[in-house]
Amino acid sequence: MKMNDAFLASMHEAMQLLQTAGPMEATEAIQRALRRHSSVEVRAATAAPMPAQVVERLLTHDKAAAQTGAVAGEPADAAAVHARGTDAAGPDSAAARAPAPQSPLASATAQAGHFSQRTFANHAGSRSYKLYMPAGRHSKPMPLVVMLHGCTQDADDFAAGTRMNELADRVGFVVLYPIQPADANASKCWNWFRPGDQQAERGEPSLIAGMTREVIASHGIDTRRVYVAGLSAGGAMAAVLIQRYPGLFAAAGIHSGLPAGCAHDLPSALGAMRGGKGVGRSRAGVPLMAPSRPMIVFHGDADKTVHPSNGSRLVAPFEQGEARTDKQRETVRAGRDYTRHRITTPAGIDAQYWVIHGAGHAWSGGSRSGTYTDPKGPDASAEMLRFFLAHPRAD
């Protein structure tokens, strides 16, 4: 058999493993094939991105469903934005009574993983967190995604709205949900605007980083694939964490959030949320660093809670100098149009900025079972994961 034929056979084996055994096994098969059929030494699986064709196969959406308005398992006439206790469709409407089409994510496995709650404590205090271990057996270290909920939410609500646990079962990664209690903030917001909670090894960043390290140590996580994402106040805290802990987190996903250091107290936080300027240096005098890790940003251009200008400010540091940029608008027949900006810094650090046209303050493509979700938007969870797995930490 010729080497090319053998390599193609190995790729066919990998695709079969993807269908029968799972993505991690398929990745191992591809890595074996590369080592066997190439004279160039490749990095170990923990140092290289999951092969693009595997990620694409796992996360490709049902285009036929999208054309009819069923976005990631949501009915076409689902309410665009949901807050706690509200449903624009109404509990007695025909849309509410009709069964929703089965999500391609949910149908990927009939077995659910394990969701448990624990507590982490250090010099800054203590916080509870929930940890989701995906279904199935996983012989290799898995990636970890840290998910920071928004104000008034909790871990269960955020997991339901983003459907990140369903993705975890399908792809094979661990999900950590830190929990902000009401006694730390009356609205259960992360205190991203306080100088004491904007620095490494202090306040809430130290608690989130500490529980992340705890999970890495206790569950044998792939340390090159640790990511952080958040919504609103959680997104703003994710922006702090990716700046202050570039040695811990490989990339960040920020949905409807704000840049690190754009506020130093509650009044300046409210001003930043309304679109006021102030990015550049916190009152604590800590200079903000140039981007050192990749970032993907989502923001609705009709957001009345956090002004859309904050999305632009999050990616502005990536656009400095001779950055490479690309912008593409996508028109969706039944759903929300969006514009995707791709940016690569002169140092080779990637960013993406998704502007969701007509969307408010809500997780794009989220499920109706959680709060602050917009089922009609593109699937932010899947797109974040696609971006994350393509960007492992290389140093």
CB burial of residue 348 (10 Å; 0-12, 13-18, 19+): exposed
- Which has the minimum average pLDDT: 75-84, 151-160, 199-208, 319-328? 75-84
Please report the DSSP string for 310-376 in residue order. Answer: HHHHHHGGGGSSS-EEEEEEE--SSS--EEEEEEE-TT--EEEEEEETT--SSEET--TTSSSEETT
Confidence grade of residue 102 (pLDDT, cut at 50, 70, 90): very low
Considering the domain boundaries, does residue 145 fall inside one? yes
Co-location of 37 and 106 in the same domain: no
Alpha-carbon distance of 169 to 164, in angstroms, equals 9
Co-location of 63 and 27 in the same domain: no
Scored b (16 or more CB within 10 A) or e, 315-335 reads bbbbbeeebeeeeeeeebeeb
Confidence grade of residue 22 (pLDDT, cut at 50, 70, 90): low
Considering the domain boundaries, does residue 332 fall inside one? yes
Position 20 pLDDT exceeds 60: no
Considering the domain boundaries, does residue 142 fall inside one? yes
Contact 301, 341 (CB under 8 A): no
Tens of pLDDT, residues 241-254: 999 999 999 999 99
Considering the domain boundaries, does residue 49 fall inside one? no
Please report the DSSP string for 151-210 in residue order. Answer: TT--HHHHHHHH-HHHHHHHHT-EEEEE---TTT-TT----TTSGGGSSTTSHHHHHHHH
pLDDT for residue 137: 73
Considering the domain boundaries, does residue 102 fall inside one? yes
More confident of the two residues 53 and 138: 138
Alpha-carbon distance of 59 to 43, in angstroms, equals 24
pLDDT for residue 394: 87
Co-location of 60 and 16 in the same domain: no
Nearest to 179 by CA among 152, 143, 200: 152
Co-location of 60 and 193 in the same domain: yes
Tell me the residue length of the chain: 395
* Residue ranges making up the domain that contains 8: 3-42
Contact 395, 381 (CB under 8 A): no
Tens of pLDDT, residues 39-88: 333 333 333 444 444 555 555 543 333 333 333 333 322 233 333 333 23
Co-location of 23 and 98 in the same domain: no
Considering the domain boundaries, does residue 289 fall inside one? yes
pLDDT for residue 85: 33
Considering the domain boundaries, does residue 343 fall inside one? yes
Considering the domain boundaries, does residue 394 fall inside one? no
Positive or negative CA dihedral for 59, 234, 102, 26? positive
Confidence grade of residue 237 (pLDDT, cut at 50, 70, 90): very high
Alpha-carbon distance of 52 to 26, in angstroms, equals 12
Co-location of 134 and 37 in the same domain: no
Contact 219, 174 (CB under 8 A): yes
The C-alpha torsion from 111 through 29 and 213 to 181, rounded to 10°, is -30
Segment 205-218 shows an average pLDDT of: 98
Co-location of 135 and 25 in the same domain: no
Co-location of 34 and 65 in the same domain: no
Please report the DSSP string for 11-42 in residue order. Answer: HHHHHHHHHHT-HHHHHHHHHHHHHHH-SSPP
Contact 321, 338 (CB under 8 A): no
Out of 232, 256, 367, 381, which one is annotated catalytic? 232
Co-location of 24 and 137 in the same domain: no
Which amino acid, one-letter code, is at 372? Y
Counting residues of the chain whose pLDDT is more than 70, the rounded percentage is 69
More confident of the two residues 120 and 91: 120
> At 341, which CATH number?
3.40.50.1820
Give the chain's radius of gyration (CA, Å): 21
Segment 192-219 shows an average pLDDT of: 97
Co-location of 15 and 104 in the same domain: no
- Which has the minimum average pLDDT: 20-24, 37-41, 289-293? 37-41
Confidence grade of residue 276 (pLDDT, cut at 50, 70, 90): confident
Residue 232 appears among annotated catalytic residues: yes
Contact 311, 236 (CB under 8 A): no
Co-location of 128 and 181 in the same domain: yes
Count how many domains the chain has: 2
Confidence grade of residue 395 (pLDDT, cut at 50, 70, 90): confident
Position 33 pLDDT exceeds 90: no
Co-location of 208 and 132 in the same domain: yes
More confident of the two residues 25 and 231: 231
